[in-house]
Structures are given as structure tokens and as C-alpha cells.
Amino acid sequence: MRARIAIIFSAPHRSLFLAGVLNFALLMIWWTATLFDIYIWPIGMASGDVPPSLLHAPVMLFLMVPSFFFGFLLIVFPRWIGFPNLGQNQYAPTGGAFIIASILAWIALIGGNHHLLAIALCVAGLGWLVALWHMIVLLIAEFRDSKGPTWHGWSASAALCFGLAGLGFSVRFLLTLDAQAYQIANSLGTFGFLLPVFLTVAHRMIPFFAGNVVKGYVAWRPFWLLALLWVFLLAHLILQLSGYNSLQFISAAALSALTATMLWRWWPRQAAPGLLMVLIWGFAWALIGFVLIALGSFAEFAGYNISLGRAPVHAIYIGMAGSLVIAMVTRVTLGHSGRPLAMSRQTWLAFWAIQLSAIARIVAGVRGEHGHWFVLAGVIWILLVTPWTLRQARIYLSKRVDGKAG
């Protein structure tokens, strides 16, 4: 047992990705079972004072997603800035916190205990604070040494601050059942946290990865683009928090134009390996999501009786976030375990399953949030993504195949 624990905490990504991939499977199993209980056949899923439909967003946004973010950022952040890797005493508390938080969350969800879920998020928040502290310390050291600034580092850190605020509002909701706190948490979690982190990492890493594997590729990642992404994400967040949903088509259209430009400039003109293409295909869901948000908002503004339901944001949650998690986590895991950088059968299966699950969820939204399509989206995820999660988990629990440390 001690040897296994030592392996889990031998590198920043191991414990955090382990928590992430287990949540990637177990939280979806819980959520699909809950949907089945609601829309298909009662199977006796526990339900407390808070409807299960209001519990899945907090655990997905503020428990599952950040464990992947921190697993990646605690590796690359010092390298972006030009400092040595973080020590085990610096990254292990965050990994430990997310593992403990995940266990508490599973117990809370199975038992329908929203107070215990609030405690789980608080534990994750403590790990979040530790990681954010070390990242900010590095940024301050960079400034003190007259280096940089590393705008990707500042961008990711700002997004993590928004995310921590969103986690706080989620805890408030779970403790007080304040509906406004729930809405604020989801808005901050989506447009202040999830999207900025993914777009920042994509802006930094996709051109870098492509330049290493595509002949004649010209990397394109201007910083004005990163700044404009922030401008329109914050504008969208402000419109949403202010209740001006019918005007969100303005910011969503701008974000559509920016992400379309990024796709056009990043798309390889020569043959490219699958591990790169899944990153680009997954990123394309951001464009789809922004376009759907713009269409739905404009329809409301113009007075058309058209509703897309929650389809637009789930194009982002499932399509973009799910695809990029598969793509980025696979790449980091292979590279940091001494394995060849190539797509396996399980990885391809998981990636295409995410595409099908996203499509099913969009159809559900277009069809008036039809519950059977919800369940189909979840079943596809469980059956086809779980093999990938199990393979990843085995890697995090094993030593590197090349005998190196980490």
C-alpha cells in the first residue's frame, strides 16, 4: 500500500488525474442512473432536499474538471515561467485534497446528502487554494526577477480565481438553497473558469504540439487573441449575471468569430497524427457551442419562438471539455509514463463516444429537454468511455515503463 501511495504522489498529475478519471466514470454513472430513475423507470435513487438535477453541475464544474486542470498546470506552469518543477510537498496536498473530496462527494451523492457534498467541495477548495498559492508565488517571482510576463500563466491563474469564487457560491447554494447563488456559481464556473482555462491552454499548447509533428507548420498564437477572448468571455459573463440573456448573442458571436479564426489558423495543412487532430476536433466544439448560444440568444432577442434548451452549453461541457480532457490527458499521461505518443483503441473509442454523447445531449435540448436522450447520452459515455478511464487509472498506479522517476 505504501509503495502504491508513493507512486500516486510521485508526480503532480498522477493523483489529480486519478481523481479526475475516476470522477469521469463514476459521476457519469451516478448521473445516468439518476436520469434513468427520473425519466425511464424508478430504481430508488436517493434524493434529499436538493433535486439531483441541481447537484451534477457543482460536482462536474468544481470537482471533476479542476482535478484535470491542476494535474496539467502543476506540471507545466513552472516550465512556462522558467522555474524548477514543484516539489512533492507543494503539489501533494492538492492531489490528496481532490482524492478525499471525491470520496466524500460519491458518498454524498449516493446518500442524497447535500451538506456532505458542501463539505466535499470545501475540501477541494482547500487543495485549490494551495495550488493557486504556489502558482501565484511563481508569477510574483517572475515579476521580481524581471522575467516575462508569462501571459498564459496570468490568464490561467485569473481563471482559477474565478473558479474558486464559483466553488464558493456552490457551497453557499448547498448550505442555504439560495437559487441566485446556484446561477452565479454556474455562470462563473462556465465563462469565468472552464472556458478561459481551456482556451488559454489551447492557445498555448495546440500550436506548440502541431509545430512539433506537422511538417512546415507555422505556429500562430498572438497575445491580442488571448486578450480578446477574455474581453468577450467577461462581457458574456456580465450579460448573463445581469439577466440580459437576449443580448448574449453579441458576445457569443464575437467568440464564435475568434474561435473560428483559431481553428482556421491552427488546422494542419499537412498530414497530422491522431493525437493532434483530436485536440483540434475537440476544440471545434467551442465554436459550435458559441454559435448555438448566439442563435438561441438572438432568437429570444428577435422574439422567435425557438428554444435550444441547454444544448448550447452542453456542446461546450460535453463536446469541447469532454473531448479536450480525453485528448490532453492522454497526451500528458503517455508522455509522462514513458509510453509512445499514439492513440490507442480505447482512446479512439472514448473520443468518438464523447462526440456521440454530445450530439445526443444537443438533440435532447432541441427536443424540449427530452429525458430519453439524456439517458442515451449518459449510457454512451458509460459504456464507451469507461475502458479509457480504467486504462488511465492503471497507468497512474504503476511506475513509468522507461524506469525514470515521476
| Closest CA relative to residue 175, chosen from 119, 106, 126 | 119
- pLDDT value at 83 more than 90: yes
Q: Using CB atoms within 10 Å of the CB of residue 278, give its burial: 0 to 12 exposed, 13 to 18 middle, 19+ buried.
A: buried
- pLDDT value at 393 more than 90: yes
Confidence of residue 147 (pLDDT cuts 50, 70, 90): confident
What distances in angstroms separate CA 246 from CA 91, 243, 251, 259, 316, one per listed residue?
A: 43, 8, 11, 21, 19
**pLDDT of res. 403:** 86
Q: Are 289 and 316 in contact (CB under 8 A)?
A: yes
Relative orientation angle of helices 195-213 and 151-176, to the nearest 10 degrees: 140
> Is the N-terminal amide bond of 84 cis, ω within 30° of 0?
no
What the block records as the C-alpha cell of 237 is 459573463
Return the beta strands (E) in 137-292 as ranges.
none
**pLDDT of res. 3:** 82
Q: What's the one-letter identity of residue 298?
A: F
- Averaged over 221-246, what is the pLDDT? 96
Q: Are 281 and 261 in contact (CB under 8 A)?
A: no
**pLDDT of res. 377:** 97
Q: Count of residues for the chain?
A: 406
**pLDDT of res. 305:** 85
**pLDDT of res. 297:** 95
Confidence of residue 148 (pLDDT cuts 50, 70, 90): confident
Give the domains, in start order, of the chain with CATH numbers: 2-396 (1.20.210.10)
**pLDDT of res. 80:** 95
Q: What is the pLDDT of residues 94-107, one digit of tens each?
A: 999 999 999 999 99
Confidence of residue 334 (pLDDT cuts 50, 70, 90): very high
- Averaged over 288-307, what is the pLDDT? 94
Confidence of residue 2 (pLDDT cuts 50, 70, 90): confident
Determine what percent of the chain falls in helix, strand and coil, rounding each to the nearest 5: 80, 0, 20
For cell 498522477, name the residue.
14
Q: Look up the pTM and report it.
A: 0.97
- Averaged over 243-258, what is the pLDDT? 96
